[in-house]
Chains A and B, each alone.
Chain A
Amino acid sequence: MIKQNLKYILPVILPLIVLLLPASSFGIEGLTLVEQRVIAIFVMAALCWVLEPIPIYATSVLIIVFELLLISDNGLWFATNSPVEQQGHLLKQSTIMATFASPIIMLFLGGFFLAMAATKYRLDVNLARVLLRPFGNSPKYVMLGIMMITAIFSMFMSNTATTAMMLSILTPVLALFAKEDIGKVAFALSVPVAANIGGIATPIGTPPNAVALKYLVDEYSVSFAEWMAIGVPFVTVMLLIAWLLLNYLFPADTKTIKLDIEGHFLKTPKAYLVYMTFTLTILLWLLGGVHGMSSYVVAMLPVAIFSMFKIITKDDLKNISWDVLWLVSGGIALGVALDKSGLASNAIDSIPFDSFHPLLLIVGASLLCLLMANFMSGILKIRRCLKWG
């Protein structure tokens, strides 16, 4: 009973304790009130995301609201009237609110529009049909084909949506396998594995990538194409390894396999517009340097084109995963607060990270991240790791 309640109690009590402790007890020199509050919000967010007492996107909203209440210039009366030297630097209300529409979010929105239009005009299923053909009928190669297609799609669509689509193609085939044939396991696993791997290849493949972009600025700035230059080879290698592993662990007894996907490419003017916009957007993303537009601005093009031509209607707008966008916003808001309040640089100074070996740090942080990722929603873990890096 207590254990069950702990997940509700801890996220309330611990941040409160952090808030009420004297500023000197943190061991960070010149810690301001605002910085202390940022720590409390951070602790609350971490606990809420790990223990999940409330939905994960609600935690993001909570972060933004607490930042507005406690560390913004329009916050609660007692939060804004301390002497300046103790209080530290308050954030502007509009800065915090703008995280709901930060460039990263717009990048995702563009990705959602592309994915929605592709699904609505059946580009995804039709592509899958055409692309699967060259892989023949041998289960081994069909699986490779499925994995590659899943990976390619999940670079631009959400991993969940891709998995659902590919599994619905696979279901009738899996039913044909003999009961004892463990090849079924291989097929069933190949899709989610490929979707997760594929998401790594582009900045919009999966939310953690987008969160990373937020921290890769100035001299570390990575463009869409640069990301893909690293991401795609990585995905290719990983896919091959995963394929070999699955084949080795779960060899199929069935000799031939036939995937039946019905349909043909739509040839209406709107469908052509979708194909063209899709191609154009991806090209513009890849050619970042030539036209001067950043990938964030490019992401807005499909949004404008699809809403203008009623390819995405206002009812389709409602199918966007707004909760995912808000989830990412919360992470960005947390980053903004850490950064703008000066806490990030302050705290790192006072912890002797320098005495660690850098390789140890990289390996340690990534192992921690992997461990957390296995238990938490994919997207959350990356924030904390990035901030320590």
Chain B
Amino acid sequence: MEKINIICVDDEREVLESVVHDLEYFSDMFNIEECESAFECLELLEELDAQQEYVAVLISDHVMPEKSGVELLTEVALDNRFLGTKKLLLTGLATQADTIRAINNAKLDNFLEKVWDPQELLQTVKELLTEYIVEKGIDYEVYIEKLDAPTLYRLIKC
């Protein structure tokens, strides 16, 4: 079984914990990582990459000290090593300009507003994860119970 990671980034401890709590569903098959800043996340990405682990979904808050979520996601989007990683912005405080930058530069895959509906977050991550696994050609049968069936049917071609 491959090591597949879901990374959550938020500078507020409570928010981070609540995101991780909502993603509990995935924790027995996937690795859920927590980061409290963009820099911590970049460091973690280096480490994971050195171990050749997969980074499937990156969920980030936008407003954070030093480096914003959009900046972080843009950096990841331009890094060849994380080609295909699904990027989700989870924020209540993004201006329209931020949002435009996030879509154009960070090639965002999904945008959720704070306060989020746990069910919606779960479903979104499920779909993104499924897309990532099929696109990367990872053996989906192992993870099938945690994946989103309609997405799977849509993407499988052979």
Q: Are A and B bound to each other? A: yes
Which residues does A use to contact B, with CB under 8 Å? 119, 158, 160-161, 164-165, 167-168, 171, 319-321
B157 touches A119 (CB 8 A): yes
Contact A319 B150 (CB under 8 A): no
Give the nearest-CB partner of B156 in chain A: A164
The answer on a CB contact under 8 Å between B153 and A171 is yes
A171 to B151, CA, bound (A): 10
- Nearest residue in B to A171 (C-beta to C-beta)? B150
Q: Give complex CA distance A263, B157 in Å.
A: 19
CA distance A272 to B27 in the complex (A): 50
Q: A321 — which chain B residues lie within 8 A by C-beta?
A: 158
Closest 8 A/B residue pairs (Cβ) = A168-B153, A164-B156, A167-B153, A321-B158, A171-B150, A164-B153, A161-B158, A168-B154
The reply on B48 being an interface residue by CB < 8 A is no
B99 to chain A, nearest CB (A): 31
Among B153, B154, B158, the residue within 8 A (CB) of A319 is: B158
B interface with A by C-beta (< 8 Å):
149-150, 152-154, 156-158
Separation of A165 and B149 alpha carbons in the complex (Å):
12
Q: Do the beta carbons of B149 and A319 come within 8 Å of each other?
A: no
Partner of B158, one of A160, A167, A168, A171: A160
Chain A residues closer than 8 Å to B149, beta-carbon distance: 167, 171
Nearest residue in B to A112 (C-beta to C-beta)?
B158
Complex-state Cα separation, A119 to B156, whole angstroms: 12
Q: Closest Cβ of chain A: how far from B50's Cβ, in Å?
A: 25
Residues from chain B with a CB closer than 8 A to the CB of A161 are: 156-158
Cα–Cα distance between A319 and B135 once the two chains are bound (Å): 12
CB distance from A109 to the nearest CB of B (A): 13
Cα distance A167–B153 in the bound complex, in angstroms: 6
> How far does the alpha carbon of A158 sit from the alpha carbon of B158 in the complex, in Å?
7
Which residue of A has the minimal Cβ distance to B151?
A: A168
Cβ of B157: which chain A residues have Cβ within 8 Å of it? 119, 161, 164, 319
Q: How near does chain B come to A75, taking the closest CB pair, in angstroms? A: 33
A160 B150 Cβ-Cβ under 8 A? no
| A153 CB, nearest partner CB in chain B, Å | 13
CB closest chain-B residue, reference A164 = B156
Q: Which residue of chain B has its CB nearest to the CB of A115?
A: B158
Instruction: Report the separation of the CA atoms of residues A318 and B156 in the bound assembly, to the nearest whole angstrom.
Output: 14
Question: For B158, what are the chain A residues with a Cβ–Cβ distance below 8 Å?
Answer: 158, 160-161, 319-321
Residues in B neighbouring A160, C-beta threshold 8 A: 156, 158
Give the residues in chain A near B153, CB-CB below 8 Å.
Answer: 164-165, 167-168, 171
Q: Report the Cα distance A339→B86, complex, angstroms.
A: 51
In the complex, chain B residues whose CB is within 8 Å of the CB of A319: 157-158
**How far apart sit A321 and B137, CA to CA, in the bound complex (Å)?**
12
Chain A residue with minimal CB distance to B150? A171
Q: How far is the CA of A275 from the CA of B128 in the complex (A)?
A: 35
Q: Could you say which residues of chain A place their CB within 8 Å of the CB of B150?
A: 168, 171
Given the complex of chains A and B, what is the CA–CA distance between A165 and B154 in angstroms? 7
In the assembled complex, how far is the CB of residue A174 from the closest CB belonging to chain B, in whole angstroms?
10
Q: Can you name 20 extra interface pairs (CB under 8 A) apart from A158-B158, A160-B158?
A: A119-B157, A160-B156, A161-B157, A161-B158, A164-B152, A164-B153, A164-B154, A164-B156, A164-B157, A165-B153, A167-B149, A167-B153, A168-B153, A168-B154, A171-B149, A171-B150, A171-B153, A319-B157, A319-B158, A321-B158
Expressed in whole angstroms, the Cα–Cα distance for A6 and B154 within the complex equals 38
**Cα–Cα distance between A119 and B154 once the two chains are bound (Å):** 12
Q: Which residues of A contact B154 (CB under 8 A)?
A: 164, 168
- CB-CB under 8 A from B156, the residues of chain A are 160-161, 164
Chain B residues, CB < 8 A from A164: 152-154, 156-157
Closest residue on chain B to residue A172 by CB atoms: B150
Q: Which residue of B lies closest to A168 (CB)?
A: B153
Considering the complex, give the chain B residue whose CB is closest to the CB of A323: B158
